[in-house]
Structure 1
């Protein structure tokens, strides 16, 4: 039930809150923040954020908003066009759909701007030949080679500030009348037409378009996609959908004839996950995953338990990793589209160690450490603060500035930074720790470790002076390995923590 349902609520929040309130939302979850993600929001914005939170978007994951965009939301739109062709009409006309309510946010945000083609500028050759191989971007290889997209100059310009992201261009007159396609971007009076939703050549999608033809910029379909999940309520094993059920368990919104997400899942993975496993399985999930929500792991664990019962622990493990997101290559600093490395670590070291542990489990009957201890709470997954209580494979990092999570100091004043790094039982020892005090993204200077409990616990202590006023978020990144050596470069299990220092 993941796609496209995970993408709609988060996109709706970003659209409704805007840049300033998204920044404030992130700040509430930073060290020294209020912890109240609804702070400063009006009722409409609060309801949108609450819907996304109950759907499972991690509260601390909103730092990703500048780069995560809408995931594969509109890439999946063709499924809906093909399977439910009336959805995008019903959304604006039938009771129970957000668009049909004239007082809804969707109705107020709808744009259908008409203008005429002033000039067909020609073609733009995209020189980016990158082969995408990461978790987030591999699907973009489908568009490889289809790099010719036209640009169109409009006679009239829409009002500035309008929500034109992911509009479609619809041709209203001329030889191309009735044709439409997605828009990549709008700069001043120039439209750059995007790849067609089916990744075909977008130029041919608009063949026949001429100067003087009447066109429309329309965001109706994009708005409709943002609440699609309300009309796809599955069985009650999916607790995040309880917000869309009444007290009797019946859907409160009109429902489409059947569930689309399982079809997409089967097309993508070959089969719909059911939990009916017949071999040993270890699931690895990220607590800040913005696309495959943390609760998905909990749902799958319960699905396995439905089949295996008391024998689940003989066949299955679930490990949660904190401060990890969906992307598996988060620390590639030369890519401006990569998410902020100040907030996250990659999970590859844990994943590689899990593969080794799985091999030992299968080949030598050597059982891996128990699953992570966690709690499901209204769409969110919560884990204990201490490594010995949390379990799993990832070290737990706790850092402080002058003994606190948030401090105010004067410029030029010495600040003492301390940290503890704790490794779960039977998962190795601490191997390294490094600070970045002033957002340099340089974690190469390793701190001296004060090892305790045979390396299962390490303390770090150092000082730093901030010369200029400002608000800083010093970050400590730490790692551990099963053998306790940095030579095992592929199995360094990482984690991090942050503090806030306000310099006056």
Structure 2
């Protein structure tokens, strides 16, 4: 591979180097190239398929969270973002970058410069890939696309806006509403106060969350406030107004990325923000004025480590197979796989259960090889704690920790964080719930700087096209966040011109992660209310390609925003988008009450928006296991259908009978990919 002829566009980066060049791949063989730029921590991975699969495109998936790894899409977790096979199906080669930093540690040369981590490292990696592609294929790619979810959705719009023609289009999905003026290169300021509201509802409601969940499930009362005291009702109402999606209340009990984000910034927030001291010492703060609201939850304890735990131990040892460990097992495996840290302990077992409210508690080592290291509780069960942190602590986790090491457990900063949302309100419309006459109700503190890895503010001004995909049941990037970019683009160009550049699509019943990565509620598999959104992303990428290369305009989604809640129209014609619209009834309603052995009449109705495909599959799940044992026969020719079946139950209980409906753009019943799905349920109570 000839490298001398490449001249970097961005002078921050030194000469490119390649340290691996080999053939890989069993399904679709590809050429794997790994390297970086001298004098920097920027690393890249290129995966070039054979000319048989290549159709002249560059696809660049961006990693979520803080990034820092260049082998996610090419690794075991690749299918979450589509994986290499999707890239090859779409006729492209794949570019991955660690976004300018190794793990969670800043590049010494870049320091805290958010432009390097936000888009410049990705851009130089993409430019050099085109130089390499010219040598492999005889010419550079004719079009380039950048996309990503969560943290990747934070950065991919920056790539399109500031990449100087590197990419033709972007597809962010599950992104945020941190928008501003074009050219503002200052670090973001946010402590994600909306997450603190969610944590406080989890803490304050406790076991009553189960009643809230039941009320908001199909056939429930629809009143989540029944049985709550004044403080509990106030906290839940605020959470909804700030945009938390109704119908996804179970995830309040199962925080994932939100817990990691706290761990990644907690030490810095506490050191820099006077709020954390004022919360306990000054009038106008709950910790000072109403200490009884937090006193019972305090953890401030010295104890010792019984043993460190690796992700494989959590996944394989019998004692961790109980349902209560499902979340900690899943999170440990996700982090170990994403960061290739199977040989690093992800959790510890403590000698004693500290009681209190452990979420977000600090874990500081007082003895042993890890002395001084600060981590934070992400998930756990009694004495088993999964931890995360910032910088080098995040890279090390519990490496070097041994039985007998002493630790300090302290959750007082996190208890203050639970009311952080009151004192750090943001300049978005949903935060008006905490203003009277335009003025904040509570004393305000300055929003802290975010990690430089999150880049800079979004801008609605960019070259090329953007399709934004957001989910209605996302507990990490709440649905209300999905309208920020749309508003910004329309502010820059006006509503008419904005449609030439930007489209927004909603994915109903999708969470921040695929169902297999999230815990399930007791007695009901999450696949009975959540879908795998990856086929949606692949179809949207294909539609983006058609929009850019063939001028075929994509269908967007219609919606309304009221009191922080996104509502989609009830019919496919009104709603748009590309998902089937599905409804299910049991004995004619959303709830049926029957006796053991009594037959229940079930009807599913489904319709696909015009021009987006045909129905290729309908499956029924009757008992909440998510196994979908009954499959209806469909031929892939219809855009709408109504099917009926019946079922009886042989034991008492509450069952959520669910229909899973799949569509496909070309109506291929046996298609393996782009099977776009949706679900709907009815409640059957058997006595």
TM-score band, normalised by the shorter chain?
A: 0.7 to 0.9
Q: Is the 8 A contact 2:528 2:679 kept in 1?
A: no
Give the equivalent residue in structure 2 for 1:499. Answer: 682
Give the equivalent residue in structure 2 for 1:24. Answer: 211
Q: How does 1:237-256 map to 2 (within 5 A)?
A: 238-247=428-437, 249-256=438-445
Aligned partner of 2:245 among 58, 67, 74: 58
Seen in structure 2, the aligned counterparts of structure 1 residues 114 and 409 have a Cα distance that, compared at 3 Å, is: closer
Q: Does 1:358 align with 2:544?
A: yes
How big is the shift at 1:180?
A: 5.9
Give the equivalent residue in structure 1 for 2:196. Answer: 8
Seen in structure 2, the aligned counterparts of structure 1 residues 187 and 356 have a Cα distance that, compared at 3 Å, is: closer
How big is the shift at 1:388?
A: 0.8
Give the equivalent residue in structure 2 for 1:344. Answer: 530
Q: Is the 8 A contact 1:73 1:225 kept in 2?
A: no
Give the equivalent residue in structure 1 for 2:274. Answer: 86
Q: How does 1:369-448 map to 2 (within 5 A)?
A: 369=555, 371-443=556-628, 445-448=630-633
- The 3-state SS of whatever aligns with 1:6 is helix
Seen in structure 2, the aligned counterparts of structure 1 residues 486 and 273 have a Cα distance that, compared at 3 Å, is: farther
- The 3-state SS of whatever aligns with 2:487 is helix
Q: Does 1:312 align with 2:504?
A: no
Q: Is the 8 A contact 1:7 1:72 kept in 2?
A: no
How big is the shift at 1:89?
A: 1.5
Seen in structure 2, the aligned counterparts of structure 1 residues 324 and 191 have a Cα distance that, compared at 3 Å, is: closer
CA distance in 2, matches of 1:356, 1:170: 48
- The 3-state SS of whatever aligns with 2:673 is helix
Number of aligned pairs?
479
Deviations, residues 3-52 of structure 1 (Å, cap 9, x unaligned): 63332111111111112x11111111122211111111110000110111
CA distance in 2, matches of 1:335, 1:151: 24
How big is the shift at 1:200?
A: 5.1
Aligned partner of 1:230 among 406, 416, 422: 422
CA distance in 2, matches of 1:219, 1:333: 25
Seen in structure 2, the aligned counterparts of structure 1 residues 287 and 46 have a Cα distance that, compared at 3 Å, is: same
- The 3-state SS of whatever aligns with 2:579 is coil
Q: How does 1:175-324 map to 2 (within 5 A)?
A: 181-182=375-376, 194-197=387-390, 198-199=393-394, 201=396, 217-235=409-427, 238-247=428-437, 249-260=438-449, 263-264=450-451, 267-268=453-454, 270-309=455-494, 310-324=496-510
Q: Is the 8 A contact 2:659 2:679 kept in 1?
A: yes
How big is the shift at 1:216?
A: 5.5
Q: Does 1:75 align with 2:270?
A: no
Seen in structure 2, the aligned counterparts of structure 1 residues 307 and 204 have a Cα distance that, compared at 3 Å, is: same
Deviations, residues 156-214 of structure 1 (Å, cap 9, x unaligned): x75x5x323433356899999988654578877x686845444154668999x989x8x
Q: Is the 8 A contact 2:471 2:510 kept in 1?
A: yes
CA distance in 2, matches of 1:199, 1:124: 16
CA distance in 2, matches of 1:419, 1:193: 42
CA distance in 2, matches of 1:316, 1:406: 40
CA distance in 1, matches of 2:653, 2:508: 28
- The 3-state SS of whatever aligns with 1:57 is coil
- The 3-state SS of whatever aligns with 2:504 is strand
Q: Does 1:461 align with 2:461?
A: no
Seen in structure 2, the aligned counterparts of structure 1 residues 290 and 339 have a Cα distance that, compared at 3 Å, is: farther
Give the equivalent residue in structure 1 for 2:358. Answer: 164
Seen in structure 2, the aligned counterparts of structure 1 residues 96 and 173 have a Cα distance that, compared at 3 Å, is: farther
Seen in structure 2, the aligned counterparts of structure 1 residues 487 and 334 have a Cα distance that, compared at 3 Å, is: farther
Q: Is the 8 A contact 1:195 1:201 kept in 2?
A: no
Deviations, residues 320-360 of structure 1 (Å, cap 9, x unaligned): 11111111x22479999997111111222221111111111
CA distance in 2, matches of 1:171, 1:391: 53
Q: Is the 8 A contact 2:578 2:609 kept in 1?
A: yes
CA distance in 2, matches of 1:252, 1:54: 15
Q: Is the 8 A contact 1:450 1:459 kept in 2?
A: no
Seen in structure 2, the aligned counterparts of structure 1 residues 421 and 394 have a Cα distance that, compared at 3 Å, is: same
CA distance in 2, matches of 1:466, 1:210: 52
CA distance in 2, matches of 1:150, 1:473: 37
How big is the shift at 1:290?
A: 0.5
CA distance in 2, matches of 1:352, 1:258: 36
Q: Where does structure 2 lack aligned partners over 5 or more consecutive residues?
A: 1-177, 179-189, 316-328
- The 3-state SS of whatever aligns with 1:75 is helix
CA distance in 2, matches of 1:112, 1:465: 49
C-alpha RMSD of matched pairs (Å): 3.8
Seen in structure 2, the aligned counterparts of structure 1 residues 139 and 462 have a Cα distance that, compared at 3 Å, is: same
Q: Does 1:147 align with 2:345?
A: yes
Seen in structure 2, the aligned counterparts of structure 1 residues 137 and 57 have a Cα distance that, compared at 3 Å, is: farther
Q: Is the 8 A contact 1:450 1:460 kept in 2?
A: no
Q: Is the 8 A contact 2:559 2:575 kept in 1?
A: yes
CA distance in 2, matches of 1:193, 1:289: 23
CA distance in 2, matches of 1:503, 1:311: 55
How big is the shift at 1:377?
A: 0.5
Deviations, residues 189-247 of structure 1 (Å, cap 9, x unaligned): x686845444154668999x989x8x754220111222323333333xx1111122221
CA distance in 2, matches of 1:381, 1:85: 33
CA distance in 1, matches of 2:457, 2:290: 38
Name the TM-score, length of structure 2 as normaliser: 0.62
CA distance in 2, matches of 1:74, 1:501: 39
Q: Is the 8 A contact 1:64 1:339 kept in 2?
A: no
CA distance in 2, matches of 1:243, 1:307: 27
Seen in structure 2, the aligned counterparts of structure 1 residues 227 and 307 have a Cα distance that, compared at 3 Å, is: same
Q: Is the 8 A contact 1:7 1:73 kept in 2?
A: no
Give the equivalent residue in structure 1 for 2:28. Answer: none
Q: Is the 8 A contact 1:8 1:73 kept in 2?
A: no
- The 3-state SS of whatever aligns with 1:424 is coil
Give the equivalent residue in structure 1 for 2:659. Answer: 476
How big is the shift at 1:432?
A: 0.8
CA distance in 1, matches of 2:444, 2:228: 30
